[in-house]
Structure 1
């Protein structure tokens, strides 16, 4: 075959291939009419498990990769010193309670003294009227009665003081019990342990982190769209996610966040060319029930495409029909993300 003929065939084949690619692109554009697409990365919200109080780590109860539920104990801090303080506070509370009993007994004594003083005053007054007693005796008995009244009031005030001391002691006991309970560091949400940050025996300051969790209830893909798309997308708009690691599956999602301000260009621009460069950060979230079903396969960092419906009457093309793997054969592939 002559060289010219070969070259002509190659040109024809190249033209046919280019035409096919162009036709495919036109078909794809037609199928995506009413939709917008952008690439992004799966992000999972991270939650820190931290100690509220300074102290020594007694034990870590989880390993990296473990699934935990909200309220599960992740780690425990040493509470030996706090337990001793609590025992002391409880003893103080019992002593304060006994103080109430003693103060009430004192009231009984003071009431008896007052009654006796009243009787003696009455007797002295009667004798004086019969000229069998003196005014000085009456005055002395009246003074004794007044002293007894004051002593009774003091005893009653002593009961209130004892009750206040008891309340203060009970509050200290309750506070220490709360602090001890807070030394059990619990998971604030369902999730997977991402990192163990300390080992048993280490001393932490208040606020020191012992582990981080991936919140499997908040998994989304972050994408950026220009003004022309962001302006037509609202919270709750339908979306689809296709991961590069598993392109055969289509994951249903919804728009959960649209940034209030554009990024990458000045906030105020004058020309249409500059306005077209504005992009908005958008989160496309996966439904919580779906995440629970496939939680063993959720990975941060997986890349892929997010497709957003920007026209309400647009119908999803066939290649974006929802398609999910069986739960036991999920999309657990190496996407370079955290486990």
Structure 2
């Protein structure tokens, strides 16, 4: 019975030692790499983004320092914008004046568009009226002429007096004058209608003028927008969410357009750039998982995966210590961290990774 108990205790003890060894292997950097792992070492890197200026100028204010956490669109520095502000004011005044001219021209055009057809309609009605009056005057004149002839015949027969003939002649003369006046009125009405009908051409000309003023207004608006855009460019903003790793400018310095002012790294997208030997490249592929360990945190694994494998082999870089290692052909791989809690993994830190091969 004692022998069986001792045997069981021995088995439990061996099992406990195995479990401790397995736990230590999983939760710390392995000293000897088993067959289902490939060890890769290198340094942590990140995607660098350069916050640059589009315009030349003098740095008025620097708002961040190295190590500061920044958000996309955050203002990092401001250039001296006194001159461009004056240009914005000038452009705004020019746009305001042009806009007022356009509104006035448009209002005048609308009035003329309504006025022209009314004037033409009125002139046409006037012409119709005087034409009717002319016909009536001509008819009255013709009737007076007939009456005069009849009176003259009756006078010869002594049926009417000479005074009656004179009155008929005077009436004809009066009605003839009225007919002539009516003809003149018709001629004037025709000319007035023709003049008013020129309003269609004048209306077309006013439309062209309004379109020209509109184009000038749009040009002035574009000038204002351009000036405001340049004014906004005087503020250098962060292109991403990240951390300022390098500040390349100080207040008071004069910079050229295109100058990089801040180097920013997104600490949520850091990776280990490592090298894998040529004889092991066939064992890995994109998407393989790996445990990454920092020298400063040897007992804290960070989950990562392979997202880049170079297509061509190269000689091991010179930073590898031994010459024997440097003459080997290797492939560059990048293992991206799946998460970076508290941004503890930063570019430049040495690290090792253990790739789990299938």
Per the TM superposition, whether the score is higher than 0.5 is yes
Query: Any idea what SS the aligned residue of 1:294 has?
Result: helix
Match of 2:282 among 231, 254, 270: 231
Distance (whole Å) between structure 2 residues aligned to residue 234 and residue 298 of structure 1: 24
Which residue of the partner structure matches residue 88 of structure 2? 86
Check 1:277–1:199 CA distance in 2 against 1; reply closer, same or farther (3 A cut): closer
- What count of residue pairs does the alignment treat as equivalent? 270
Q: Distance in 1 between matches of 2:31 and 2:48?
A: 37
Q: CA deviation at 1:62?
A: 0.9
Aligned to 1:256, the other structure's residue is in SS state strand
Partner of 2:130: 127
TM-score of the aligned structures, taking structure 2 as reference length: 0.66
Moved beyond 4 Å, runs of 4+:
none
Match of 2:228 in 1: 177
Name the SS of the counterpart of 2:347 in structure 1. coil
TM-score (norm 1): 0.70
C-alpha RMSD of matched pairs (Å) = 2.8
Paired with 1:126 and 1:191, the residues of 2 have a C-alpha distance of: 86
In structure 2, the gaps of 5 or more residues are 1-29, 135-178, 317-326
- Superposed, 1:167-206 pairs within 5 Å as 167-206=218-257
- CA distance 1:203–1:133, change in 2 (3 Å): farther
Q: Distance in 2 between matches of 1:309 and 1:214?
A: 28
Unaligned ranges ≥5, structure 1: 1-26, 266-275, 313-339
2:204 aligned with 1:153 = yes
Quote the Cα distance in structure 1 between the aligned partners of 2:228 and 2:342. 39
Distance 2:126 2:301 in 1: 105
Once residues 215 and 193 of structure 1 are traced to their aligned partners in structure 2, the CA distance between those partners, rounded to angstroms, is 9
> Partners in 2 of 1:309 and 1:116 — Cα distance?
92
Structure number with higher relative contact order (C-alpha < 8 Å, ≥ 6 residues apart): 2
Q: 2:97 aligns with which of 95, 99, 119?
A: 95
Higher helix share: 2
Distance between the aligned counterparts of 1:285 and 1:191, measured in 2?
A: 16
The structural deviation recorded for 1:239 is: 1.0
Q: Counterpart in 2 of 1:256? A: 307
2:65 aligned partner: 63
2:130–2:189: 8 Å Cα contact kept in structure 1?
Answer: no
The structure whose Rg is larger is: 2
Q: How far has the Cα of 1:74 moved from its partner?
A: 0.8
Secondary structure of 2:301 counterpart: strand
Within a 5 Å distance, the mapping from 1:33-44 to structure 2 comes to: 33-44=35-46
Q: 1:34 to 1:160 in 2, by over 3 A?
A: same
- Mark the CA change 1:305 to 1:120 in structure 2 (over 3 Å): closer, same or farther: closer
Matches within 5 A, 1:259-274: 259-264=310-315
State the shift of 1:110 in Å: 6.8
**8 Å CA contact 1:68, 1:192 repeated in 2:** yes
Partner of 1:14: none
- Work out whether residues 39 and 353 of structure 2, in 8 Å CA contact, stay in contact via their aligned partners in 1: yes
Partner of 1:53: helix, strand, or coil?
Answer: coil
Residue 113 of structure 1, CA deviation: 5.9
Residue in structure 1 matched with residue 51 of structure 2 by the alignment? 49
Q: How far apart in 1 are the matches of 2:119 and 2:57? A: 61
Query: Which residue of structure 1 lines up, in the alignment, with residue 293 of structure 2?
Result: 242
1:192: how far off? 2.0
Q: Which residue of 2 aligns with 1:294?
A: 342
